[in-house]
Structure 1
Amino acid sequence: MKSNYKRLGDYIRQVDVRNKDLAVDKLLGLSISKQFIPSIANTIGTDMSNYKVVQPRQFGYVPVTSRNGDKITIALYKEECPCIISQAYVVFEVIDETELLPEYLMMWFSRPEFDRYARFKSHGSAREIFEWDEMCNVLLPVPPIEEQRKIVAEYQAIEQRIESNRRLIATLEETAQTIYRKMFVDDIDPENLPEGWRMGTIGEIATISSGKTCKDKIVKKDEEHVYPVAGASGIIGYSSEYNQYMRILTTGRVGTLGVINRYNEPIYCADNVLVVESNLYEYTYQILSLLDYTKIQKGGVQSLVTQTDLYGG
């Protein structure tokens, strides 16, 4: 054990303040993406006085880790006004922020290694639980507070750049769709096309195939399972094999329809997606993104789009 690793329990304490006077009405939940999120619970007729109050810079976590995607649900509350969460959750805080920054601690909780540790240390039969005592026994490096501040500042700067890039990409995507729609949809009269133009189908510019059932999919990447598995809404796990290695587009075949994803790496396309290959890659992407899937879908309980449907779209 490294000498600078400390026991977390020496730096944190549980907080159990109930909403007895109903002064707080902002009800939030916790997600496996380690964030406080709006609660979707039906609270009609519920006694909110027993819910736990969370103050800014306090933590909440869900002790139950089974059936949780191998993640522990834990988050730092960053907003300015208090909220309330379920009485089944644990609320805790850093005792002295001159010794341990909550933001630094949250960085530690965000590591995949901590998720694996919490699952390994969870116990129970019907439900596996990461108990408070196990949380307190976590060992982590605690550098001097100035170094913690520097690490957090660097981490937050990277996060801000990532978010700025996401917003820029989203803006560029919207611009590209606007240009495409103006050039090929809004300003086009099918009865009076520009000279040399004609109406066609997706099948004329793209090859469409179906994904296949992935038999060894796991949730987290490891040394053997390194290839992403593409489902209808995006990456759903990892496999030791791949069935696509070209630059492709995918769209949902059953259930989730109309979500178009780009891939340019070895990947395993699952059986609920259609795989689209085209030399006119970006043009095909825009067509698929603006396609009205309600006009071509089939199915009863679950919506369905076949290769034939898409070929003629």
Structure 2
Amino acid sequence: MEYKRLGDYIRGVNVRNRELKVTNLLGVSISKEFMPSIANTIGTDMSTYKIVKRRQFAYGPVTSRNGDKVSIALLDGYDDAIISQAYTVFEVIDHKQLLPEYLMMWFRRPEFDRYARFHSHGSAREIFDWDELCDVMLPIPSITRQREIVSEYETLTNRICLNNQMIQNLEATAQALYRKTFVDNIDKENLPEGWRMGTLSELAIITMGQSPNGETYNTNGDGTIFYQGRTDFGRRFPKARVYTTSPTRFAKEGDVLLSVRAPVGDINIAPHNCCIGRGLASLRCKINAQGYLYYQLQDLIAVFNVSDDEGTIFGSINKDDLYNIEIVIPKKEDISLFESQVSIIDCEIKLRDSEINKLTELQSLLLAEMGINN
């Protein structure tokens, strides 16, 4: 299919919030989504901010220090919003020739990010300016075919969102069950029969991570999957990105992975045997109750927050402090009963997460095919 110049299909928009009618302040993330702004706007003249409307785009021209991603997004969750003057707003001229949703799919392709970074220029900071954006070449099939492609992609997106919502509900249910059983109305001065105070190391086998030589790292799948810290953490399971040919400390499949450097206390579950770096510790329950251990660690967030506040400038927790965290240790029968209940929930969460990974792979495949099969 013949490639077309994007600038022939889009135009810049520069409408300011002069009358202060729009109050919904958003930013644009490198994940290519609009998000609520966290900027301090006290005393800021909001009348100079730009208005973006539904099915219009905004992007940040600065590409340096952006993780090789272009911050660009299509507004579809609101009728309108305001954004910083630093963003460029634009729109598709004729929706009968080019669907905004199809164009946004093109912007999500990693090839687009690589193109934008390559064509960025500047000394102090690199810019992918409006002229460069207009010079992007892309295939523009018939509007009917565009609708088909967008429909396929949105079907996958909706299924991913549904699974994420289900996981969130399941996790909330499991955490509520944990708190009802082991936290609410429990007096540490008068524990139930068979319960006692103890330390985390009495309940779990703890392995502190150790980073291999950096020269052994690779991203082509050579060696053992390696997690240095929380960088690769997901909602519950980390994503494999880096490998090492000289692994040092290990976590087994199912172990809880705990961030021991800023921010301390983030947790995931190892989906496979892996090597762990100094930013992580792995924990395995001594009584075969990994679900219980996972939710107990989630409930220790207040303890980990203290570690962040009182630690170094980076925040960390050392081996001795981690081993000696004081916890309530219920009797084994109570833990086992909870484990039998929560394991059903956790299995469903794992299945939903696996489906999300497969759907995400299908999305990536669909984006890749935009450049060759239209």
Q: Which residue of 2 aligns with 1:246?
A: 252
Of residues 310, 317, 330, the one that matches 1:305 is: 317
Distance (Å, rounded) in 1 between the aligned partners of 2:122 and 2:274:
36
Change in CA separation of 1:229 and 1:137 when aligned onto 2, cut-off 3 Å = farther
Q: Which residue of the partner structure matches residue 209 of structure 1?
A: 207
* 2:50 paired residue number: 52
Q: Which runs of 5+ in 2 are unaligned?
A: 234-238, 326-374
Q: Secondary structure at the match of 1:240?
A: strand
TM-superposed CA distance for 1:268, in Å, is 4.8
* 2:289 counterpart of 1:280: yes
TM-score, length-normalised on structure 2?
0.73
* Correspondence for 2:272 among 247, 255, 265: 265
Distance of 1:94 and 1:228 partners within structure 2 = 43
Q: Residue 311 and residue 30 in structure 1: after superposition, are their counterparts in 2 closer, same or farther (change >3 A)? A: same
Deviation at 1:26, TM superposition (A): 2.9
User: C-alpha displacement at 1:199, in angstroms?
Assistant: 4.6
Contact conserved, 1:296 with 1:305, CA < 8 A, in 2?
no
Question: Which residue in 2 is equivalent to 1:127?
Answer: 125
The code of the aligned residue for 1:223 comes to N
Deviates more, 1:131-140 or 1:258-267: 258-267
* Partners of 1:94 and 1:176 in 2: CA distance: 46
**Amino acid of the residue matched to residue 104 of structure 1?**
Y
Question: Structure 1 residues 295, 103: closer, same or farther in 2, change over 3 A?
Answer: closer
Q: Which residue of 2 aligns with 1:293?
A: 303
Q: Tell whether the 8 Å contact from 1:252 to 1:273 is kept in structure 2 after alignment.
A: yes
Q: What is the aligned length?
A: 308
Q: Which residue of 1 aligns with 2:220?
A: 223
CA root-mean-square deviation: 2.9
**Cα offset, 1:264, TM superposition:** 1.5
**Contact 1:28 1:83 survives alignment (8 Å):** yes
Matched-pair contact (CA < 8 Å) for 2:219–2:243: no
Q: Which moved more, 1:301-310 or 1:92-101?
A: 301-310
Aligned residues of 2:211 and 2:228 also touching (Cα < 8 A): no
Partner of 1:244: helix, strand, or coil? Answer: strand
Which residue in the other structure is 1:89 paired with?
A: 87
Q: From the superposition, tell whether residues 208 and 5 of structure 1 become closer, same or farther in structure 2 (CA, over 3 Å).
A: same
Contact kept? 2:251, 2:276, Cα under 8 Å: no
* Superposed structure 1 runs of 4+ greater than 6 Å apart: none
Deviation at 1:281? 1.6
Please list, as runs of the form range in 1=range in 2, the aligned pairs for 1:105-144 lying within 5 A after superposition.
Answer: 105-144=103-142
Determine the C-alpha separation between the residues in 2 that align with 1:123 and 1:189. 63
Q: 2: CA distance between counterparts of 1:270 and 1:103?
A: 41
Q: Which runs of 5+ in 1 are unaligned?
A: none
* Residue pair 1:205, 1:280 contacting (<8 A) in 2 also: no
Q: 1:20 to 1:287 in 2, by over 3 A?
A: closer
Deviations 1:130-166 (A, max 9, x none): 1212211212221211221122122112111111111
* Equivalent pair of 1:11/1:95 in contact (CA under 8 Å): yes
Q: Percent identity?
A: 48
Distance verdict in 2 for CA 1:295–1:101, change over 3 Å: closer
Higher helix share: 2
State whether residues 12 and 89 of structure 2, in contact with CA within 8 Å, keep that contact through their aligned partners in structure 1.
yes
> Quick one: structure 1 residues 113 and 227, their matched pair in 2 at CA, closer, same or farther if it must change by over 3 Å?
farther
CA distance in 2, matches of 1:164, 1:145: 28
Query: For residue 22 of structure 2, what is the aligned residue in structure 1?
Result: 24
Deviates more, 1:175-184 or 1:154-163: 175-184
Distance 2:36 2:174 in 1: 32
Q: What per-residue deviation string (whole Å, max 9, x for no partner) do you get for residues 87-129 of structure 1? A: 2211111111111111111111112221111111111111111
Q: How many Å separate the matches in 2 of 1:8 and 1:141? A: 9
AA aligned opposite 1:184: F
Q: How far apart are the structure 1 equivalents of 2:250 and 2:191?
A: 40
Change (3 A) 1:228 1:240: closer
Specify the code of the residue in structure 1 equivalent to 2:134. C
